[in-house]
């Protein structure tokens, strides 16, 4: 059965303490949220364009407006969970991985191996890590909460300094990882 193609209807730039983020939304919800200086940013946007149709209008989008408020509150430690609707654009496997990421509680971390085990595919660590890297909705789908098996920071396309900042913010401790 062919998958219905998502239509991107709005975009905006959002200023955060970690720099500008670019957001795209469909009628269903946020489908893209990334730091504009992330590793392979252009590739992420191109991949999104292969899986979605763009019909961006100038009017305000309720999903992006709510996202702006919630991101601001998140960075102020005012919320621990996002309520803004999301529209995951990816393969079925990627969506399963991203859905599992949503189960990692605020302030907690898991290893890639723990994530793969939680999905019932303990030998699929690399596939899970690759899907995490393809996550198009940073912070909301918290791939930053996944760390190396040896408890080290690893693998964040936004950069390890941003990952460290987010984990420190959520844990309430400074310099959780060196």
- Catalytic amino acids? 143
First-to-last alpha carbon distance for the chain, in angstroms, is 47
Rg (CA), the chain: 16
CB contact at 8 A, 98 and 29 = no
- Total Cβ atoms within 10 A of residue 75: 16
Residue from 157, 162, 160, 141 nearest 42 by CA: 157
């Amino acid at each position: 059965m062919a998958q219905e193609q998502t239509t991107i209807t709005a975009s905006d730039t959002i200023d955060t303490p970690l720099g500008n983020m670019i957001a795209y939304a469909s009628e269903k919800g946020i489908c893209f949220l990334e730091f504009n200086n992330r590793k392979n940013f252009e590739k992420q946007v191109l991949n999104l364009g292969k899986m979605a149709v763009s019909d961006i209008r100038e009017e305000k989008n309720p999903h992006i407006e709510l996202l702006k408020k919630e991101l601001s509150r998140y960075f102020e430690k005012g919320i621990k969970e996002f309520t803004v609707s999301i529209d995951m654009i990816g393969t079925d496997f990627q969506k399963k991985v991203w859905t599992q990421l949503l189960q990692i509680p605020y302030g907690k971390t898991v290893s890639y191996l723990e994530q793969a085990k939680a999905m019932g595919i303990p030998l699929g660590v690399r596939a899970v890590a690759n899907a995490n890297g393809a996550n198009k909705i940073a912070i909301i789908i918290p791939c930053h909460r996944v760390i190396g098996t040896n408890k080290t920071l690893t693998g964040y396309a936004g950069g390890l300094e941003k990952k460290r900042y987010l984990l420190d913010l959520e844990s309430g401790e400074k310099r959780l990882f060196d």
